[in-house]
Structure 1
Amino acid sequence: MTITATNANRTDTARALLAANPELTGAELGRALNVSDRCGRQLLHELNGTGEGKPARTLMLISFGYLHQPGEVPPAADRVEDVRERLRDPAAARDILDLDGLHPHVQQVVLATPGAAELIDNLIEYAELPAGPRSIAVGCSGGKHRACALIQLLGERLRGRGHRVTIEHRHAHLPRVLTPTAGGSGTAPTLDVAREPDRDGSKARRTPARAVSGFGLFGVVLVLLLIAALSSAPAPITVPLAVLAMVALIAWVLRLAPPRSRTDR
């Protein structure tokens, strides 16, 4: 279909065409308006900018966690950003572990990560291409912090620029995923649920062994001290043995205390 439009009504006509078919390219829009391809692309670019001239197209933004996806296959989208290696995991900030990317503090932490602001700017440029995308997905390991925060920040920026945006956080509500440690290939990732220290009694099993080894050293030194005392050994022998026995006794008492785990620190 070709429409002959004057300069006065060309923009309104182009807006109506795009509302009926948001997938029109600049060249196709130019042919429909009976103008050059260059003019059509320029007009499309203007209509894809901010303001009320934006075509009726909604951009879907998706955050997800690769470890929650079957086979770690990302959801279908026009562009998928895997930030697992691109941005460091903000979970090192212990105060955000129980929060998700919807929380302003988590967003601040993620945005301060080197490369995060540049990625958002790049995605905005991509979203505003003349033949812009209909969906963008961002994924991290669990989809709780990096991906969720980035999509939320991207959505706010795009809405501020006049875009119609729908946001879907697929895995932000799930517990944080703990990835397998090095050498643990084939081990399924586990969820970081509420942990109870020494739930399996491992500390209790380790404490007797520590106590026995500590008492062994103390016992040996004590026997030597008794032998020296009974044989009336001179002070240069008995005094060092007495000091050594005291040190061994203190070490034994310290070993009676259960060891501290990483979660106790």
Structure 2
Amino acid sequence: MKQDTPSEPQKILLVTGVSGAGKTTVLKTLEDLGWETVDNFPIKLAGQLLKIPASGGENGPNIPLALGFDSRTRGFDAEALIQQIKQLQKQPNLNILTLFLDCAGVEIERRYAETRRRHPMAPDRPAMDGIALDRSVMEPFRRWAETVIDTSKLSAHDLQVAIRERFTSETSPHSIITVTSFGYSRGVPHNADLVFDLRFLRNPHWDSNLRPMTGMDAAVSEYVSADPKYDEAMNKIRDLLRFLLPLYDAQGKAYINIAFGCTGGRHRSVHVAQTFGEWLREDGFALTVSHRNLTSRPIDALEEPANGADGNKSRQDSKRT
């Protein structure tokens, strides 16, 4: 039986360059973007590697592959490897690209001096001797590569940003967003990245009819959203998140936990977390919503200190009604 061929060619990026230019940083960044990466890989074995099914299985997604190599790689011969890669590029099911990382010699020398490592091409000689030899060996790849990045003036962070901008695709995983509600009386979530305190809103706890309910109930939602300060505050928070979340995503932040807190974690924070879950999905973000203290028992002693006069006023109003 004939096997189905993937609709898209297997994307392979060959990452190479002079030693000290940032190959390890590039491969780690690609791995964070969802690529499968292999460092110091003998390119002559690429044919055998490509016969191994990807982690998604033979019929699974075509996960892009990055192979790192340089002059230290076993069996390295620049001209022979280029010819071998050209043969692989003729295969219609493969999309092979080459990224070459270059860097000024004085900057490479400084990097090796800072790390107190010896240059691999000159273990018993000055680093500049090894840098010059390495550059001459790698020059054929530099001339032939589709993409060359000079990292002389780039920090590790700058290089990561450049790689993310160039190689992030629609199939790359985005930040995993969690919207959490919680009660301050039971502590702030330890993993919260953005925390919004909702205790300025009037507290449904002091309404005897609403107290047994939660922010999941329509009556509580109506009560909270009727607060005069509600609309303006929610719109400003929404604008802030619309601005920040794409920036975190671009920086490769794997997890973002947005936490909304009220005193007990059962009414205001639950309603607002649910609301923002819907709004952010409308804005195109994928996320999950969790409520840490939704099932916690309502306790007057926990609610009153954090609400002060507002809490007492709400309680008095509820008694008059």
Q: Which has the higher helix share?
A: 1
> Larger radius of gyration, structure 1 or 2?
1
**TM-score normalised by L of structure 1:** 0.46
Instruction: Name whichever structure is richer in strand by fraction.
Output: 2
When normalised by structure 2's length, the TM-score is 0.39
